[in-house]
Structure 1
Amino acid sequence: MWAPFLCAATLWAGFSESEKALKKALAAKDATGVIAASEQLVALGTPEAVKAVIRYGLACDNYKAEKAIAGKLAALPLQLRTVVHEFARTIDHHQIRVILAAVLAAYDDPASFAALGAMVKDPVPPVALEATRHLVNGSLATGDMRAIDALIEGLARHEKLEQSAVVAADIRQGLYALTGEELESSAEWKKWWEPRRRTFKPADAKSNQERPRRTVVRARSFFGHEIVSKRILFILDMSGSMTKKDFPAGTGGGAGGEGEAKGRTVVKGKKKEKSPSEKEAEEKELERKRENLPLDRQRLHRTQVELKKTIESLTPDTRFTVMAFNHEIKLLSESPQYAAPAFKRKAKDFVDGFKPEGETWTDTAVEKAFGLKDQIDTIYLLSDGAPQRKGKMLPTDEIAQTVKEKNRFLKIKIYTVGFQQGGSKMHEFLGALARDSGGTYKRLD
């Protein structure tokens, strides 16, 4: 008769010891210890143990540990998932809610799907963005159209809030991906969706997407990147190479940028090595032609013209600032300011004063940008070369991974622009920054 009580006592003792070990490891910032204690707690298979893992294990602020613990939570049996549902809704730490969105996305039961859908309405934008991403991706993979109701409800909440402009834009994009329709307000979406809710199929979305997309005049953009945010940082590379002029694409003028191969020609499939004097003569002729190009082919001038046009287009309720970087960082203002006429004039004067020199310390610029984390939600980053310091290329994969980890709870979207002549390393790096943050990358010819 005592067996059940002994079993419960043993279970409680195991829980108590593992929870103590978890708290101790957390206090010591011992990621390995946090993972081990969390795994022990999950193995106990009780609601209280799962609660402890979420409260303490996911609070460790360590990327490796968070991934490991989230993986264990993603494998929870059905009867324990209600704990995750509850904490996704109620826990104060928005960083933990971001992680739980990914955990919920791994489940396949209706209650978990509903819990993830409810997170689209979360008042903290990074949480809503993460929930939207998982909800849309999961629905595209399974063809489950139930997500549309949750997205429309989320849009109804976020379209009214200045700090949620990016969330609303992501929801609209998700709705287009699922339906093929391009509508603006939640009221329009409700009106369109109501008569189709019971009969709409993924094939209908594909059919809609095959139609020509609506022609929408984008009043605000930066080198083709649409601007939807109200909290923006522009980051501009002002290294010495920005004074270069580039040949238009297809003119046969040569690449002429950093990181591109030079000095070889191909004749009938065979490589012919040029003599030093031939190389020197060719490079001199190329530079002569480059110098004779019009000013509108200069990287600096093109950047200045486009950015000033973008600044002028910003609405008064938009807050922004500008950062110029090379081996130093120069900020227009220490924090984003509203786009009032006086500040726009100040910003355009700042842009006109750009003086390219030095190296491309992109890693330092992005690190400085994250210091504005609570004041911005979107970055537009332009560069013409891969990061380098003291004449040596920096490890771009490591920098991109560091940015990804620092951005995991901020969810700052990074839209990147690179000059075609910048070389493959730059293109890969800027592409990774954009892809990992939910932005896009554009090349300039």
Structure 2
Amino acid sequence: MACPRPGMRRPITLVTRTLHCRIDDLVTLHFIMSETITAPGLFEKTFSTNETLHGLYLDVPGRVIVRANDGGNATDVTIASNSAALLNLVLADVTYRYYKGTNNSYLNLTHAYPDATTAGALVVTVRANAPVSYISSQAQTVVHDGALASSAQANVTLRAYDAGSIHYASNASLAAYNLKLDAADASTVQVSSSSLNVTYKLSLTAEDRGVVALAADVAVVPSAKAVAQDAGAVYLQAVDHVEVGKLVVDAEDLGRVNVYPHGTCVTGKITAEDAGVANVGSVVCQDVYASASDGGAVTVQVTGVLSASTQGYSVVQYFNATPLELPKTRRPSKKHSVRGPNVLATPNNTFDSFVFTQSPLETPIAVKLFPRLTKSYWGGSWTTLSAVSSPAEAGSLFAVVAVCVLALVLVVVKRSGRGVRYHRIQ
């Protein structure tokens, strides 16, 4: 196979032998590829690129290990499996995306859909030639020290989805201009370092039973926002203390946010809705606005002004000391059990703590891929979808829906003549 000439398009195709090109030709390739078999019965496929990658899109199941390629000028990717059929389904290329006016390059790791169910064990190792700033993964991902960007100018994002996970642990300080950790669909993002320094903003988001956990001995953040929705959970743990200028917390739909065990903030805006829980009583804030509704619960610690709003069976609790200024309330009456916001003192600083786990082993993990039209990957496991409706079934369903809609319209038109409560349809 001939090497591509400079200026040609560079499609990524799987080959079963190594491309032998001159050294000066390699700079024109995004990837060079090879496939080998290693004992005992483990198949390997390798990719290499000399691009300096901004980030990684890891849209594959299995386990992915990300480490620095010490002394190497290229980013090397090794995919290993005990199934040659599974190995052939894993695809890789370099893609480009614009971010704030800059065209950045990303490793795009994906998989094709098999014609029949394909199972095996899979592990991918990425040796990056430079620290990356962005990782999005549905795999069980381990990020080693030195592989993640850390500087006062870096915009760092770690995102896990579809029951994936990202583990990053470092004994060194982690620095960023913006640091964003995002977990959705029962996934987990777990980050720990000796200290955390964020120049501008820290953003922690957990949705749909996702978990985001960030731990540091000392954390200094001008602005921090923690959001937990749909049974998601956020944990910000500062062993010594966390210093936040502006703290925004939003816990909704059984979401839980915990900031502990020590910290300070200048201003805080804390919200809990629909049985959400915001536990920030460990953080001593000067001024706080707290809002709780539909069974939400907020715990704060305020030295200055506490403003609050509550609805339904919701509560705002203040811990340790009485704020300098509390919301105004009136005595309950016969008509109203509570007049004004439901704000109470509490002797207990309640919060949930997260147990940080060790990084997964760097060995293959069992996965299974299914044909496109018979299975769907959702919520961390492959689930069977209902068969596609036949044209006759689809037509029947449409007819039923149409009849229901027509009946509803007739009811509304009929009622419109009974009084001014209804308006006639024009």
Give me the TM-score of the superposition, normalised by structure 2. Answer: 0.28
Identify which of structures 1 and 2 has the higher relative contact order when contacts are C-alpha pairs closer than 8 Å and 6+ apart: 1
TM-score scaled to structure 1, two decimals? 0.27
Q: Which has the higher strand share?
A: 2
